[in-house]
Amino acid sequence: MKKSNITVIDYGMGNLWSVLSALRYLGCDPAISSHPDEIVSADSLLLPGVGSFRKARHALQQQGLDQAIVEAVQIKGSKILGICLGMQLMGISSSEDGDAVGLGLIPSTVDKLTPQKISTNKIPHIGFDQVHSQLGACLFKGLQSDAEFYFVHSYRMLPAGLSGKSAICNYGEKFLAAYEQDNIFATQFHPEKSQTNGLILLKNFLAQ
């Protein structure tokens, strides 16, 4: 496989090692960066994330990474994959821990999961769950249309009003499990933790 020039954004919040380990397994030699200049000049970005939205947003802002990401993606056209909190950070805003503004790359807001049957649907949503991908979604190429991926989250985006390709998970409500539009890709689940399915999805992203 060709070496991909992928830069993993390090803002002190991600499960960095897991992501790097998966990329290396796929034959990549990922760079890790917390420098705005390097991020602006990267062709391919990965925004991981484990943590709370507000803290993560603050960390990105403090290091000037928020503007660098937006510039790389919206002006330079670099592709980006946001994972879990990384996906949420790409939204317009989040109501976690008081309202905070996101990067605005995905026109949707992040709110707490509100499953209708609270007794059977526990929060956080933790474990492998089925993801129903839209036909033709690049990330899911070669995977079953109801492939399983690992989720661990309490907040989510909803698919309403989005014009890109969505993948949906039904956990008492239908939320946005993955999204792609042009050079913007995001997964609420953790592909780096989703065994064979996750590795195939990451490979699909790298091949874009």
Residues that bind other proteins (CB under 8 A): 1, 12-18, 21-22, 25-27, 50-52, 55, 85, 97, 118-119, 121-130, 142-143, 148, 150, 152-154, 171, 190, 192-200, 203
Other C-beta atoms closer than 10 Å to the C-beta of 87 total 29
**Least separation in angstroms between CB 137 and other proteins:** 16
CB of 182 to other proteins, least distance (A): 24
Nearest residue (CB) to other proteins, 79 versus 190: 190
Mutual angle of helices 16-25 and 195-206, in 10-degree steps = 70
Q: Which of 207, 163, 160 is nearest to 182 (CA)?
A: 163
* Closest CA relative to residue 183, chosen from 82, 33, 41: 82
State which amino acid sits at residue 54: R
Q: How far is the CB of 69 from other proteins (least distance, A)?
A: 20
**First-to-last CA distance in the chain?**
13
CB of 118 to other proteins, least distance (A): 6
Joined together, the tokens standing for residue 156 give: 């989510």
How far apart CA 141 and CA 122 sit, in angstroms, is 31
**CB of 51 vs other proteins, minimal distance in Å:** 5
Choose between 171 and 179: whose C-beta lies nearer to other proteins. 171
Which three-class secondary structure state does DSSP give residue 125? strand
Would you say 35 or 55 has its CB closer to other proteins? Answer: 55
Nearer to other proteins, 67 or 128 (CB): 128
Residues with catalytic annotation? 84, 190, 192
* Phi, psi angle pair for 150, to nearest 5°: -90, 125
Of 11 and 73, the one with the shorter C-beta distance to other proteins is: 11
SS3 content of the chain, % helix, strand, coil (to 5): 30, 30, 45
The tokens describing 134, both together, are 């839209």
